Structure 1
Amino acid sequence: MAASIVLNLDSLPSDPLLLILSFLDFRDLVSCSLVSRRLNELTGHNPLWKVLCKKHWLLAEADKSHRGQSWKELFREFYIDLGRYIDHYSMLKESWENLKSYLGQKCPRMIASLKDGAKEEELDAIEAQIGCKLPNDYRCSYRIHNGQKLVVPGLMGSMALSNHYRSEDLLDIETAAGGFQQRKGMRQCLPLTFCFHTGLSQYMALESVEGRVHSEIFYHCPDQLAQDPSAIDMFITGSNFTEWFTSYVQNVVTGEYPIIRDQIFRYVHDKKCVATTGDITVSVSTSFLPELSSVHPPHFFFTYRIRIEMARSALPESACQLDSRYWKITNANGNVEEVRGPGVVGEFPVMTPGKVHEYASCTTFSTTSEHMEGHYTFHQLKNKEEIFDVSIPRFYMVCPPFRESAVRSVCHEAPVGLFNNDNSADTDDFEEEGQLDMNVAGHGGRSHTRTHTQARAQKPKSK
């Protein structure tokens, strides 16, 4: 009878064991290292820790060569310093690096405004100062970069329309702590951003109080119809810091947000929102302006940016000039309004092969969404009697998620339907996008808009 074979770790070849160990995370590798001398030797295998260093700390061969350490030693050093952030660090670090790389090419002066990372003890001191714990992902990001210097333009995006300008800085932790809110209606809220021109900030809820959710990020919006001045509605921009920051960076580095005059402009372009008629293509991007909007009363302010382009391959005799615009505006209730007017923003652009004309305008409405579509009417330069329409693709404007105040108290209920009438306003009277007016409104200032009737009655501006 053949003798039975007893297998043990010492008799097994290294390669299959290393393959098995490669599927373990760093915690399991450390646990395995305590089982036996053989596993202790195998779990110290450099390629295992190289993979973990790259996965969790985004370290490359150059980092190892520069420090002169083994991969396991390098992992241990980073873990001692940043171990509490291991679930967040790689994602946030990658976002920061992608953002800096993109800005270095497109708007390098923003790179100079970034501050070095905060130290762990500095973040601990801020927590003691405000009496609240900071979310780990927020702390992690601030270990990488402690926000930016208070400059214009801000890292978190800009918007400009006629006499209204906004540009949001990403606040450093010390400045943010100085703006920590403990007043009724905004208790335990920490500002993340700030705009010098409007006083606008995005806040993060550090505790689940007053109807907010912990770590949620929002623009605050006073309830103008409530008796209690602490009644604050919220336009929600993120469920946590990681989602908020990484989604913003993704929009920037993919070109979703255009760079205009060395600034990030927060227009969103739906790739389906493009229409071509003959040689002319029209595309639209939109942006919601929370600082000019309110939940009570329902008043939602959007700006849209339109690009009109004639194909380079068009024949010279295709040159034409825009005469008028037509809009069909439909709100969430299905109410439709039609608007006709001369030119665009007071201009009558001439289109020639390869020519691009861009302009920005705005609209307000009292329902949570609306869509617009229409056409421009052109005439041929060689024959003014020859006119034709160019389609404007349908584009949607949807109010971001919002939460009504938990302390709302009104004297009496508004009459049913009072704010459901069709009062959207096509205020196509702003300057061309390439000539945005950077004069600013006062603190919390609002752009002056006209109703449809006024827009139709006023004569177009001269160039």
Structure 2
Amino acid sequence: MLVELSDDIIAKIFGFLEVNEVLQCSLVCKSWCRVARADQIWHTLCERYFSPNTLKSLITKLEENAISVSKSYCSESVSLGSEDLGFTLANRETQRGEVGDTSGSSESSTASDSPTALCGTKACCCQARKALANLIEEYGNSKSSSCSKYLLFKAFFRHFSRGSYYVSRIAKLLDNLETFCRRANLPAARTLLPGVDGICIERQTGTELPGDIYCLYRLCSGQYIPSDYSQFQGILGGYLFYDVLVDWNLYSICSGTVTSLGDRRILKIGQDLFWHNNRGSQGLFVDLETKHVIEKTQNHYVIASKDTVTYLEKYVNDLCSNHLMIDRNTKQILRFSLSATYSGHSDVVTGYIRIQATCLFVPGISRFSDNEEQDEFVFAYRIRISMLSSAPSHYIYRLEQRHWIVTDTDGHVENIRGPGVIGEHPMFRPGSVFDYASCAPLRGPVGKMKGSFTFRPLHYESDAQAAAPFSAQVGELQLNFFECYRFPPEAPERYLQLQERWEEGNNILC
């Protein structure tokens, strides 16, 4: 027996659905189409797709986009479902059209001379952005019946299309990233570009991008790096040791092209400005089929994250939680983790000497292949040595020697001894700090290292005798590729087996 449900019950059921499912239900019959327009359904969807916590940031970015870009011929990508319900079922082919007043064909000249005007839009598209910002602001301020939730979501979905699901997350991470850089007084705080229009993105890349990448560039089209680049401005951080200098920036979509890596189609989303022995640029890439964020090694690649938004969220969370280092001199964000929960971190105090150590895997100069003898997994490590301020004011120490014990994946142990560190013998007084970075190559993806530094006191005690030399310990560092990276399916079987053991929770470290 068929039971006819009331409109209220149907509306409550629709409230549990995603936007695509609501649109599909609206095609069933006229009564369902009428229910599908109810504001209570679209109010729920508005809350789900752009949360109240990110409304202010989203409004700001839309308004910035509307006034900051000009020149190039762009239009909005519009696609609508049935009976003017307003927008497409997700990921269907779209028809080209323009949003807003189609008579607005004149180009805006606003900020045409600005160095950030790398990509632009027609005036009608700027008006559409501004209109959407006004709708969202009205919704956020009042949430009253005067704001049609259905019309708001329709405008929202038209603007962001297939990337709408990611808007709240991306707006939040970009806002947190900019806020952190401003508070830390980093040059990178002033380099993020406004977003661009969808058709501009597709014309530049020549392909349809995954939803998260598409949405990212709709809100932020990359990072502007001046031609007279002289400072560390990469907003995604970097590292420096010996002749390896990396400073990651968020790659501009205006320079983006789809390239090949074997049988994979990849798009660059992040680029370093320097590299090892001038070998050329490396970068962060996204695999357009799997959505994985990848980094190239010398002869292969490794997977850094399952998708771009997850990668950026983790990075920004680490940054805002003060888990990453900031170089006090260069104002560069360093990718070395300061988190005590990270196994590649140690912090030990011996007497009045404190030694903090942290490490990271460096894909760009690592290599792995079917020939195990030629494999080299390079881990950079950074050491911070300080003398406690509580030490007696007349105490003076000189670093004399270093000793490292490095164990690789197969259990092979290497002892490394030498005078000083990086050719220096730093002196320490109460409150002194000395930072340096180096690297440890392994013949496998996991290992460990520990060691000590020998200090010679240069002060004299009350009996006029110089104190004896002593060793300050460096806590054990776990060199673990798997904490931040994954091997691709075509990696050598022995490494895939280690990866499987790690994912199952088994101890694979020496």
Normalised by the length of structure 1, the TM-score is: 0.70
Q: Does structure 2 retain, via aligned residues, the 8 Å contact 1:92–1:141?
A: yes
Q: Does structure 2 retain, via aligned residues, the 8 Å contact 1:268–1:285?
A: yes
Distance 1:263 1:107, change over 3 A: farther
Q: 1:273 maps to which residue?
A: 346
Q: Following the alignment from structure 1 to structure 2, what is the Cα–Cα distance between the partners of residues 368 and 107?
A: 36
Q: Following the alignment from structure 1 to structure 2, what is the Cα–Cα distance between the partners of residues 50 and 293?
A: 46
Q: Following the alignment from structure 2 to structure 1, what is the Cα–Cα distance between the partners of residues 439 and 298?
A: 22
In the TM superposition, what is the alpha-carbon distance from 1:332 to its structure 2 partner? Answer: 1.3
Of residues 361, 379, 401, the one that matches 1:288 is 361
Alignment of 1:177-192 (within 5 A): 177=257, 180-182=258-260, 185=262, 187-192=264-269
In the TM superposition, what is the alpha-carbon distance from 1:385 to its structure 2 partner? Answer: 4.1
One-letter amino acid of the structure 2 residue matched with residue 263 of structure 1: Q
Distance 1:336 1:50, change over 3 A: closer
Q: Following the alignment from structure 2 to structure 1, what is the Cα–Cα distance between the partners of residues 256 and 50?
A: 32
One-letter amino acid of the structure 1 residue matched with residue 359 of structure 2: T
1:170 aligns with 2:255: no
Q: Does structure 2 retain, via aligned residues, the 8 Å contact 1:270–1:285?
A: no
Q: 2:488 maps to which residue?
A: 403
One-letter amino acid of the structure 1 residue matched with residue 165 of structure 2: D
Alignment of 1:314-329 (within 5 A): 314-329=391-406
The C-alpha deviation readout for 1:197-230, integer Å capped at 9, x for no partner, is 33112222223xxxxxx2122222354xxxxxxx
Alignment of 1:79-98 (within 5 A): 79-98=157-176
Alignment of 1:321-400 (within 5 A): 321-380=398-457, 381-382=459-460, 383-399=465-481, 400=485
Q: Following the alignment from structure 1 to structure 2, what is the Cα–Cα distance between the partners of residues 356 and 89?
A: 43
In the TM superposition, what is the alpha-carbon distance from 1:309 to its structure 2 partner? Answer: 1.9
In the TM superposition, what is the alpha-carbon distance from 1:295 to its structure 2 partner? Answer: 1.1
1:147 aligns with 2:222: yes
One-letter amino acid of the structure 2 residue matched with residue 249 of structure 1: V
Alignment of 1:235-254 (within 5 A): 235-254=302-321
Q: 1:202 maps to which residue?
A: 284
Q: Following the alignment from structure 2 to structure 1, what is the Cα–Cα distance between the partners of residues 385 and 350?
A: 11
Alignment of 1:220-235 (within 5 A): 220-223=296-299, 233-235=300-302
| Secondary structure in 1 matching 2:466 | coil
Q: Does structure 1 retain, via aligned residues, the 8 Å contact 2:293–2:311?
A: yes
Q: Does structure 1 retain, via aligned residues, the 8 Å contact 2:298–2:365?
A: no
Q: Following the alignment from structure 2 to structure 1, what is the Cα–Cα distance between the partners of residues 336 and 380?
A: 8
The C-alpha deviation readout for 1:234-283, integer Å capped at 9, x for no partner, is 12212222222222222222222222212222112341611112222211
Q: Which runs of 5+ in 1 are unaligned?
A: 1-7, 208-213, 224-232, 409-463
Of residues 58, 77, 83, the one that matches 2:155 is 77
One-letter amino acid of the structure 2 residue matched with residue 325 of structure 1: R
Q: 2:138 maps to which residue?
A: 64
In the TM superposition, what is the alpha-carbon distance from 1:389 to its structure 2 partner? Answer: 1.8
Q: Does structure 2 retain, via aligned residues, the 8 Å contact 1:29–1:43?
A: no
Q: Following the alignment from structure 2 to structure 1, what is the Cα–Cα distance between the partners of residues 179 and 350?
A: 37
1:217 aligns with 2:297: no
Q: Following the alignment from structure 1 to structure 2, what is the Cα–Cα distance between the partners of residues 78 and 359?
A: 49
Of residues 316, 319, 326, the one that matches 1:259 is 326
| Secondary structure in 2 matching 1:344 | coil
Of residues 390, 413, 420, the one that matches 1:313 is 390
Q: Does structure 1 retain, via aligned residues, the 8 Å contact 2:177–2:316?
A: yes
Normalised by the length of structure 2, the TM-score is: 0.64
Q: Following the alignment from structure 2 to structure 1, what is the Cα–Cα distance between the partners of residues 296 and 395?
A: 50
Distance 1:278 1:124, change over 3 A: same
| Secondary structure in 1 matching 2:386 | strand
Q: Does structure 2 retain, via aligned residues, the 8 Å contact 1:26–1:52?
A: no
Q: Does structure 1 retain, via aligned residues, the 8 Å contact 2:323–2:339?
A: no
One-letter amino acid of the structure 1 residue matched with residue 295 of structure 2: Y
The C-alpha deviation readout for 1:399-422, integer Å capped at 9, x for no partner, is 34333758x9xxxxxxxxxxxxxx
The C-alpha deviation readout for 1:12-40, integer Å capped at 9, x for no partner, is 9xxxx9xx7997567599979x869x989
Q: 1:460 maps to which residue?
A: none
One-letter amino acid of the structure 1 residue matched with residue 138 of structure 2: K
In the TM superposition, what is the alpha-carbon distance from 1:318 to its structure 2 partner? Answer: 4.2
Query: Which piece of structure 1 moves more, 197-206 or 75-84?
Result: 75-84
Q: Following the alignment from structure 1 to structure 2, what is the Cα–Cα distance between the partners of residues 104 and 239?
A: 29
| Secondary structure in 2 matching 1:367 | coil
Q: Following the alignment from structure 1 to structure 2, what is the Cα–Cα distance between the partners of residues 137 and 48?
A: 22
